[in-house]
Amino acid sequence: MADALTVLGIESSCDDTAAAVLNIGKDDDSRPEILSSVVYGQADLHARFGGVVPEIAARAHAERLDLCVKEALSEAHLCLDAVDLVAVTAGPGLIGGVISGVMCAKGIAMGANLPLIGVNHLAGHALTPRLTDGLTYPYLMLLVSGGHCQFLTVRGCRAFKRLGGTIDDAPGEAFDKVARILGLGQPGGPMVEREALEGDENRFALPRPLLDRAGCDMSFSGLKTAVLRTRQTLEAEKNGLTAGDRADLCAGFQAAMRDVLAAKTRQALAIHMAEYPDEPAFAVAGGVAANKVICAQLETVAEEFGARFSAPPLALCTDNAAMIAYAGGLRYLMGEQDGMDLAARPRWPLDTESPAMLGSGKKGSKA
Ligand code: KG4
Ligand code: ZN
């Protein structure tokens, strides 16, 4: 298709090795088409360590990237000759993994004589609502994952303004830690959500941090510690937790998380809509958006404000390479390109004008 740009995307910034092929219309009005999106997860490799081990992740990316690219091309029924651009996550992320992806992309670009573009992983997430739902700029975005939590006004493929974010743990990180505290498996989010179905969210009074503060910064570290203290108190009282205690704690924790995210979304929407009152839209992405209770509450908040709500399908909410191909393709169509000196950037804020956050999820690198 001469009027479309065919982009090979590569993603390896954390624990998912991913490749995708995407067509983007050169005319801005046409919708992009995902021809393939392949993700090789690494959960099995990291499970016994209770978290992602950077060295193991980097090695697995290096071993699997070429297979993943091959599979993505084969699923798209294309060979490299049909590709117009190689887009790769160049950060932020775990340095070893990002280097693996950048080296792989450089090799392909050089070997096939293709242009190369390095993409900010967070831009990939932030632009996904355009890819999946055709949202028009500007829109408000809540990126809520295992390593990040921030509100962004998205005004263009290179124009992001951070309105606020977590000053300590990311919500997914807090879900994972609470699961560990309660002896549940990893990743913690789905485990806690399942336990919470049976629980009473009102039994334990857990904190809703920073609700008294203006703006949309958040904090989740104290909430997680409150779960730990409650567990310790229960254990001291009766020598262990019952299934009911565990379910009630999960429900209480999830409700506190839901309430904080909803309240801060109200503040962020008010700030965003003061500047952009017409046809407001609010999108959420990242693994925590998979939580039904939280997602439903965020949709209700969007309705309160008369804003269109978008939550991409789960496979495009979590890490994938289609979003990288899309973000890279958009920038290439605006005349940007990188050279063979493209460097991996483990830290790479999306909004370089706002002051750095105190913390953006302690894992810092995972988005
Ligand atoms: O976006 P993601 O797949 O990976 C990155 O962090 O980049 O997000 C993973 C995080 C994990 O912390 C996981 O526990 C959380 O998202 N998560 C959930 C749910 N499913 C995944 N948190 C709450 N409820 C869920 N259903
Ligand atoms: Zn991510």
State the Cα–Cα distance between residues 19 and 21, nearest whole angstrom.
Answer: 7
State the Cα–Cα distance between residues 332 and 338, nearest whole angstrom.
Answer: 9
State the Cα–Cα distance between residues 191 and 200, nearest whole angstrom.
Answer: 16
| CATH number for the domain formed by residue range(s) 136-314 | 3.30.420.40
pLDDT in tens, 296-341: 999 999 999 999 999 999 899 889 999 999 999 999 999 999 999 9
| Type of residue numbered 206 | L
pLDDT score at 29: 65
Q: For ligand 1, say whether the CB of 188 is within 6 Å of any of its atoms.
A: yes
pLDDT score at 308: 98
For the CA of 188, the closest atom of ligand 1 is 14
Same fold, 4-132+315-365 and 136-314: yes
State in Å: Cα 186 to ligand 1 middle. Answer: 10
Question: Ligand 1, atom 14: nearest CA belongs to which residue?
Answer: 189
Query: Any idea which ligand is nearest the CA of 149?
Result: 1
For the CA of 148, the closest atom of ligand 1 is 6
Q: For ligand 1, say whether the CB of 176 is within 6 Å of any of its atoms.
A: yes
| Two structure tokens written together for 65 | 């990237």
Q: Are 132 and 312 in contact (CB under 8 A)?
A: yes
Question: Ligand 1, atom 16: nearest CA belongs to which residue?
Answer: 287
Question: Ligand 1, atom 18: nearest CA belongs to which residue?
Answer: 189
Q: For ligand 1, say whether the CB of 291 is within 6 Å of any of its atoms.
A: yes
State in Å: Cα 52 to ligand 1 middle. Answer: 13
State the Cα–Cα distance between residues 295 and 105, nearest whole angstrom.
Answer: 35
For the CA of 146, the closest atom of ligand 1 is 6
Angle in degrees, 0-180, between the axes of helices 322-333 and 121-133, rounded to the nearest 10: 90
The alpha helices in the chain, defined as continuous H runs, are 43-46, 54-75, 95-112, 121-133, 171-181, 188-196, 221-238, 243-275, 292-304, 314-317, 322-333
Q: For a substitution probing ligand 1, which of 288, 324, 365 has the most ligand atoms within 8 Å of its CB?
A: 288
Phi/psi of residue 138, nearest 5 degrees = -90, 155
Query: Any idea which ligand is nearest the CA of 175?
Result: 1
For the CA of 286, the closest atom of ligand 1 is 1
State in Å: Cα 37 to ligand 2 middle. Answer: 15
State in Å: Cα 347 to ligand 2 middle. Answer: 13
pLDDT score at 364: 41
State in Å: Cα 327 to ligand 1 middle. Answer: 22
DSSP state of 81: G
pLDDT score at 224: 94
Q: For ligand 1, say whether the CB of 319 is within 6 Å of any of its atoms.
A: yes
Residue whose pair of structure tokens reads 């789905």 in the numeric block: 190
pLDDT in tens, 185-219: 888 999 999 999 999 999 999 999 999 899 999 99
| CATH number for the domain formed by residue range(s) 4-132+315-365 | 3.30.420.40
Q: For ligand 1, say whether the CB of 366 is within 6 Å of any of its atoms.
A: yes
Q: Say whether pTM exceeds 0.85.
A: yes
Under-70 pLDDT residues of the chain: 1-2, 28-29, 355-367
Query: Any idea which ligand is nearest the CA of 92?
Result: 2
pLDDT score at 356: 66
Question: Ligand 1, atom 6: nearest CA belongs to which residue?
Answer: 146
| Two structure tokens written together for 289 | 């958006």
State the Cα–Cα distance between residues 22 and 328, nearest whole angstrom.
Answer: 11
State the Cα–Cα distance between residues 269 and 265, nearest whole angstrom.
Answer: 6
The alpha helices in 182-277, defined as continuous H runs, are 188-196, 221-238, 243-275
| Residue ranges per structural domain of the chain | 4-132+315-365, 136-314
pLDDT score at 360: 46
- Those residues whose C-beta lies under 8 Å from the C-beta of residue 153, and which sit 6 or more positions away, are 138, 139, 140, 141, 160, 161, 163, 272, 275, 276
Q: For ligand 1, say whether the CB of 318 is within 6 Å of any of its atoms.
A: yes
State in Å: Cα 325 to ligand 2 middle. Answer: 14
State in Å: Cα 256 to ligand 1 middle. Answer: 17
